[in-house]
């Protein structure tokens, strides 16, 4: 399946409101504050008849925008099995959301691992990458958390582009524009945001910033600048690697 076919499929699953909203966002509105976005949309569309069709999409976007802010405060990447309703429920209390996600990723680990393995079997990656990912799952389960980043970062880069992280960033950032993301894949959008803004961040970010973000940074992990040795570090790395392998497979048009 070609990239254009994939894009057509994603767009066809969207409602009219979602299509218009995603189109406007990709045409320069950007991720503004909710109230600014609403005003911009009304002005852009020029009348209440079309705006009424967008009401549900706008409401959903505002709610999700707030949820994204709450997720970023917790430092957890969201896995696809996490109930969205729970995240929305704890949006106004990031400490409660942090506690709930920590408990979820611990108590539901068996089902999360099973889901990751099932998706791994559908990805177009070689046997070396599959074995490495399974070893990372075992290391996480044995609480050997610092091993997970050191195993998975090299495998991600080898599978994607032979180790050139700038090419990896460019490739995945381009494929994940709002125009091509189904509104049912919002967790992936959050992970992509971390990819662009943190995991492969260009330049020289402050060491303090790297240490405060529980999502592993490739440069910090590779050069031993931060010890990614906690349950949260390890879980985030597994979720990130799972996402990358799925995106690369979809980009190649081979995932069924």
pLDDT tens digits, 76-111:
999 988 887 888 888 888 899 999 999 999 999 999
Contact 151, 135 (CB under 8 A): yes
Q: Which of 18-27, 66-75, 226-235 has the lowest mean pLDDT?
A: 18-27
Model confidence at 118: pLDDT above 90: yes
Contacts of 109 (CB under 8 A, 6+ apart): 141
d(CA 251, CA 2): 8
Q: Which residues contact residue 247 at a Cβ distance below 8 angstroms, ignoring those fewer than 6 apart?
A: 172, 175, 176, 188
Under the phi-then-psi rule, with left for phi > 0, alpha for psi from -120 to 50, and beta for the rest, what region is 7? alpha
Query: How many C-beta atoms surround the C-beta of residue 192 within 10 A?
Result: 21
Q: Model confidence at 145, in pLDDT bands (50, 70, 90)?
A: very high
The pLDDT of 176-186, averaged and rounded, is 47
Domain boundaries, the chain: 3-251
Contact 125, 245 (CB under 8 A): yes
Give the containing element (helix H, strand E) for 227: none
Distance from C-alpha of 256 to C-alpha of 249, rounded to nearest angstrom: 9
> Quick check: 241 pLDDT over 90?
yes
Q: Which residue has the higher pLDDT, 89 or 118?
A: 118
Q: Using the predicted structure, report yes or no on whether residue 27 has a pLDDT greater than 70.
A: no
Higher pLDDT, 113 or 178: 113
Q: Per-residue pLDDT averaged across 25-43, rounded? A: 49
């Amino acid at each position: 399946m070609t990239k254009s076919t994939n894009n057509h499929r994603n767009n066809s699953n969207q409602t009219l409101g979602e299509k218009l909203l995603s189109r406007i966002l990709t045409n320069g509105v950007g991720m503004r504050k909710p109230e600014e976005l609403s005003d911009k949309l009304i002005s852009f569309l020029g009348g209440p008849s079309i705006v009424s069709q967008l009401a549900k999409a706008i409401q959903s976007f505002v709610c999700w925008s707030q949820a994204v802010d709450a997720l970023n405060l917790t430092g957890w990447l969201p896995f696809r099995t996490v109930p969205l309703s729970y995240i929305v429920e704890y949006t106004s209390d990031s400490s409660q959301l942090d506690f709930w996600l920590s408990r979820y990723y611990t108590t539901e680990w068996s089902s999360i691992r099973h889901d990751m393995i099932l998706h791994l079997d559908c990805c177009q990656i070689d046997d070396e990458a599959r074995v490495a990912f399974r070893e990372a799952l075992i290391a996480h389960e044995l609480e050997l958390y610092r091993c997970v980043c050191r195993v998975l970062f090299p495998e991600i880069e080898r599978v994607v582009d032979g180790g050139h992280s700038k090419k990896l960033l460019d490739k995945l950032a381009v494929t994940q524009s709002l125009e091509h993301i189904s509104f049912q894949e919002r967790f992936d959008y959050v992970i992509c945001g971390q990819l662009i803004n943190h995991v492969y961040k260009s330049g020289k970010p402050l060491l303090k910033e790297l240490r405060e973000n529980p999502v592993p940074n490739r440069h910090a992990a590779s050069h031993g600048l931060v010890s990614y040795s906690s349950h949260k570090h390890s879980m985030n790395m597994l979720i990130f690697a799972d996402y990358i392998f799925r995106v690369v497979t979809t980009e190649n048009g081979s995932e069924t």
